[in-house]
Amino acid sequence: MENLIDRDPASLVLRSPEEKEALSVVLQALRERQKGNVEGFAAALDERVVYHDVSLPPAKGRGGARARAEAWHRAVPDLQIAVERVVVQGTAVVTMGRIRGTLRGDLFGRPGTGQSFDLPFAQLALVRRGRIAYVRDHWDFATLMRQVGWAGE
């Protein structure tokens, strides 16, 4: 399946300039996150962003979301994000695909194991004035626990 994260949003069929901008902002943020460029990722976020993740309470504000991304990057320096599907309506962008990597450091208060994981994900992002204002990430925490060797804890 083609990884849409590297696809030029202008090449996708979208109805409006608003949709093209929203998709461009979200894909750029995901690319920066995948590269471990936390500052580049944070630059795509609204100052008052609310970032929900299935695993933790919401991160509030750009600083909170940046700290969450930094923790992920330290723990999973080889994070790969494969976007396989996108749905865009107005300024709402849903991306679906897989996240992969190797848990090398502590994450969620648990130790790194050196084990790899490969999980499906879905993300809803709302873009406001050219920045991501709201995110809700969904992925399977139980499968992550099993794949990285935390299931027996």
What digits encode the pLDDT tens for the residues 47-93? 999 999 988 899 999 999 999 999 999 999 999 999 999 999 899 99
pLDDT digits (tens, 9 = 90+) for 2-50: 777 777 777 766 678 999 999 999 999 999 999 999 999 999 999 999 9
Contact criterion met (CB below 8 Å) for 76 and 101: yes
Q: How far apart are CA 146 and CA 91, in angstroms?
A: 35
pLDDT value at 115 more than 80: yes
User: Is the distance from CB of 48 to CB of 64 less than 8 angstroms?
Assistant: no
Name 102's bridge partners.
Answer: 116
Q: Pull the structure tokens for residue 85.
A: 């599907």
Q: State the pLDDT confidence band at 1, using cuts at 50, 70 and 90.
A: low
Sorted by where each starts, the structural domains of the chain and their CATH numbers stand as 14-148 (3.10.450.50)
pLDDT at 8: 78
